Structure 1
Amino acid sequence: MNFEIGIFSLGEVVPDPVTGTRPDSRQRLRDIIELAEAAERAGLTVMGVGENHGTDVVAASPVVLLSAIAGRTHLLRLTTAVSVLTAGDPVRLYEQIAMLDNISGGRAEMIVGRGSSQGVLRALDLAQDDQDALFEEKLLQLLRVRETNPVTLTGPLPQHGMDIDLEPRPLQPCLPIWLGSSGTPASVARAGALGLPLALLRTHGPFTAVVPLVAAYRRALEASGRDAGTPVSLNVPGFVARTPAQARELSRPCFAAGARSHGPVHPEDPRWSRKEYDRECAPGGTLVVGDVEEVVAKIVAQQRAIGHERLLVRMDAGGLPHHRALESITLLGTEVVPRVRAVLG
C-alpha cells in the first residue's frame, strides 16, 4: 500500500523546559525550514505547517512559510495543518494555495478546520456558537472556487463581484483539500458527505478510539455516493530516539505540558504525570514515542487498526531542542519508514 509518513509543526516559540532557552522568531522560522529539509533528506513525504496566532507562535501565515520551504525542497508535499477557515477568506486562501502549487511545482495541499485551539479562537475573537455554520458556508465556497472558474459567489459572505476569474490556477487538476477534525462525529460526517479526505488530529488517549470515527467516515462516504477509498490522515505527536528510555526522558518535559490541547504547548498548562505519559507512549496509547523498534510497532498497529493512508508526526512541540527534532526526523525517515513499509507492503 502507499502509506505516507511526514511531519507537521504548529510553529511554537516557547522556552526549552529544561534549560529555559527561548529561540527568537527569526531563528524559529529558520528551524522549521530546516526540519522540512531534514524530512526530505530522510525520505519523508509530507510537511505540514499549522495556522496559529499569538505571542508564542510564528505560523500566523502557513502559506508564506510553506512557500519558503518550497524553495528549499523538491519532493515534499506541502500542506497547511490546519488553515483556520472560520477566520479566513476562502477565496483569498485558495488564491494563496494556488500560488504555492505553482511555486512548488504541484506539491501544495491544504487541511482546513474550524480551529480547535481555544487560544487561537480567542485571539481571533470567534464566538463558540458561531463557528459551525460559518465554517460550513466558507467550506462550501472554497469548494466552489476549486471546482469552477470563473466562479459566481453567492450567499451571506462578503462578495468579490458577481463573477471572478482566479489566476493563477493550480498546477494540479484538483487541488487536495482535506477536512481537519479533532474527532467530533459531526466533522467526520461532513467530510464523508462532501467526499473530502479526513485529517484526524489526535493528541492523547487510546488510539483505538479513532476506529469507530473512521468507520463512520467510510459509511458517510458510501451513503453520499463518494469514493470509499478517500484517504484518512492521522496527525499525532511523536519522537524517536536510540533507546526507549532516552525517547521518553527527552520528550516528556516538552510533550507532557498541555498535550491534551490541539494547540501550542505552554509551560503553565496542566502536565501529565510520568505514569500518564508512559501510558500514552505504551503500545495502546496515541503518542508515537520510543526507539525505532517501538515506533515501528506503534505505527503498524495504528495503521492496521485504523486503516489510514497517511501519518503526520509533530516532533517539535513544547520547546523540544531543535537538534533533537532533527535527530528524530532522521531516525523516522531512514530507519522507521523503510521497516514500516516492508511490513505493510
Structure 2
Amino acid sequence: MNVEIGLFSLGEVVPDPVTGARPDSRQRLRDIIEQAEAAERAGLTVMGVGENHGTDVVAASPVVLLSAIAGRTHLLRLTTAVSVLTAGDPVRLYEQIAMLDNISGGRAEMIVGRGASQRVLRALGLEPEDHDALFETKVRQLLRVRDADPVTLVGPLPQHSVQFALEPRPLQPCLPIWLGSSGTPASVDRAGALGLPLALLRTHGPFADAVPVVAAYRRALREAGRDAGTPVSMNAPGFVARTAAQARELSHPYFAAGARSHGPVHPADPRWTREEYERECGPDGTLVVGDVDEVVAKIVAQQRALGLERLLLRMDAGGVPHHLALEAITLLGAEVVPRVRAALD
C-alpha cells in the first residue's frame, strides 16, 4: 500500500524559544504559502491548514489561506486540518470549501472536528457541555448539504425550513470530508457509523497506542455496514535533518512545548525534558523526527501497524524557523518519500 505524505500547519505566531523574537503575522502567512510551494516541488501530495483563533495564530480562516496556496500550486490536495465545526456554520463552511474546490481545480478536502481550546470556544459562545451533541448535529447537516442538491435546510423554527440549492457545487463528485479525532471512543465510533475517513490526531506517546483505536474504527465501520477499508490518516509533528543529532537539536526547543498539543505554545505548557523528547523521537514514539533513515523507518512502521493511507506532518510546531522548515520539507520529499514508497510497494 502506498501512503500519501504531506504537511499541515496551525499558523502559530509565538516568540521564538531560542531568540525570543516574535514573527510578523503577515510574514508568517507568506511563510506558510512558501512552505506549501516547497512541498509541491519536493513531491509531497497534501497541504493542510488548521483553524484556531486568538493573538497567537494567523489561521483563523483556513479556507482563505488554502485559497492563496491554490493560486501558487497545481497538484497539492488542500485540506482544512481541522475546521472547528462546533464553532461554525456547516452550510457556510461547505460553500467555502466548494468555492476552494473550483478555484483549485478539484483539490479541496476538509477535516472537521470539535477542536479548539476551551478559552476559544467560550469566546465563540460555546460551553463544554454543548460540544458533543452540537458537533453531531452539525456533522450530519454538513453531510446532508454535501449529498443532496437541492438540500432541505431546517431553521430553529419549523416554518424556517427551506429547500436550497447551493452554488457553486464542488468539482469533485463527492467532496472528501474526514473526521478528526484524538482517539476518543465516541469520536472514533462516530466516524465509523457515518462512514467518514478518520484523521487521527497524535501528538505524543507510543504510536502502538493508536493500533486499538484504528481497530475500533474498523469495527465501527463493519457494524454500521460501511466500507471497512475507508481511509485512515495520521496527523503528527515531524522534522527531518541530515543527521539524527541535528534533527533533535534543531527541533527540540520548538517541539518541547508546541508539539504536545494541536495548538499554540503557551508559557504554562509543560515542556518535554530532553529525555522525554528522545523517547518520543525513538522507534516507538509518535514524533516523526530524525535523519532520513530514521524517518523512513518510522513512517514505514507506522503505516504497517495502522494501515495508514495518509500521513500529515506538522513541521513548524512551536515556531520552527522558516529556513529550517524549508530544508526539512525538501529532505522529506526528495529523500524520504521515494524510499517509503519503495519499501511499501
TM tier relative to shorter chain: over 0.9
Find the aligned partners of 2:60 and 2:115 in 1 and give their Cα distance.
Answer: 13
Contact 2:155-2:161 within 8 A present in 1 as well = no
Match of 1:139 in 2: 139
Find the aligned partners of 2:337 and 2:40 in 1 and give their Cα distance.
Answer: 12
1:189-242 deviations in Å (ceiling 9; x for gaps): 100000000000000000000000100101111111111111000000000000
Find the aligned partners of 2:288 and 2:195 in 1 and give their Cα distance.
Answer: 28
Match of 2:339 in 1: 339
Contact 1:240-1:328 within 8 A present in 2 as well = yes
Instruction: Give the C-alpha shift of residue 120 in structure 1.
Output: 3.2
2:257 aligned counterpart, secondary structure: coil
Contact 2:74-2:104 within 8 A present in 1 as well = yes
Find the aligned partners of 1:339 and 1:118 in 2 and give their Cα distance.
Answer: 41
Match of 1:308 in 2: 308
Find the aligned partners of 2:56 and 2:50 in 1 and give their Cα distance.
Answer: 13
Identity of aligned residues (%): 85
Alpha-carbon RMSD across the aligned residues, in angstroms, is: 1.4
Instruction: Give the C-alpha shift of residue 141 in structure 1.
Output: 0.4
Find the aligned partners of 1:179 and 1:171 in 2 and give their Cα distance.
Answer: 21
Instruction: Give the C-alpha shift of residue 153 in structure 1.
Output: 1.6
Map 1:113-132; keep pairs closer than 5 Å.
113-132=113-132
Find the aligned partners of 2:3 and 2:258 in 1 and give their Cα distance.
Answer: 29
Instruction: Give the C-alpha shift of residue 270 in structure 1.
Output: 1.2
Letter in 1 for 2:175: L
Letter in 1 for 2:222: E
1:256 aligned counterpart, secondary structure: helix
Match of 1:228 in 2: 228
Match of 1:54 in 2: 54
Instruction: Give the C-alpha shift of residue 264 in structure 1.
Output: 1.4
Match of 1:44 in 2: 44
Match of 1:180 in 2: 180
TM-score of the two chains, using structure 2 as the length reference:
0.97
Q: How many residues align?
A: 345
Q: 5+ unaligned residues in a row in structure 1: which ranges?
A: none
Instruction: Give the C-alpha shift of residue 123 in structure 1.
Output: 3.6
**Closer, same or farther in 2 for the Cα pair 1:157/1:274, shift >3 Å?**
farther
Find the aligned partners of 1:228 and 1:105 in 2 and give their Cα distance.
Answer: 29
2:285 aligned counterpart, secondary structure: coil
Match of 1:251 in 2: 251
Find the aligned partners of 2:218 and 2:165 in 1 and give their Cα distance.
Answer: 35
Match of 1:8 in 2: 8
Structure 1 segments (4+ residues) deviating >4 Å? 155-161
Find the aligned partners of 2:215 and 2:180 in 1 and give their Cα distance.
Answer: 16
Instruction: Give the C-alpha shift of residue 138 in structure 1.
Output: 0.5
1:14 aligned counterpart, secondary structure: coil
Match of 1:71 in 2: 71
Letter in 2 for 1:13: V
Match of 2:21 in 1: 21
1:257 aligned counterpart, secondary structure: helix
Q: 5+ unaligned residues in a row in structure 2: which ranges?
A: none
Letter in 2 for 1:223: E
Contact 1:15-1:21 within 8 A present in 2 as well = yes
Instruction: Give the C-alpha shift of residue 258 in structure 1.
Output: 4.2
Find the aligned partners of 1:59 and 1:311 in 2 and give their Cα distance.
Answer: 21
TM-score of the two chains, using structure 1 as the length reference:
0.97
Greater shift, 81-90 or 151-160, is seen at 151-160
**Closer, same or farther in 2 for the Cα pair 1:297/1:259, shift >3 Å?**
same
Instruction: Give the C-alpha shift of residue 176 in structure 1.
Output: 0.2
Match of 1:295 in 2: 295
Find the aligned partners of 2:325 and 2:270 in 1 and give their Cα distance.
Answer: 23
Match of 1:219 in 2: 219
Find the aligned partners of 1:268 and 1:157 in 2 and give their Cα distance.
Answer: 44
Instruction: Give the C-alpha shift of residue 124 in structure 1.
Output: 2.4
Instruction: Give the C-alpha shift of residue 116 in structure 1.
Output: 4.8
1:36-92 deviations in Å (ceiling 9; x for gaps): 000000000000000000001000000000000000000000000000000000000
Letter in 2 for 1:62: P
Contact 1:255-1:265 within 8 A present in 2 as well = no
Match of 1:202 in 2: 202
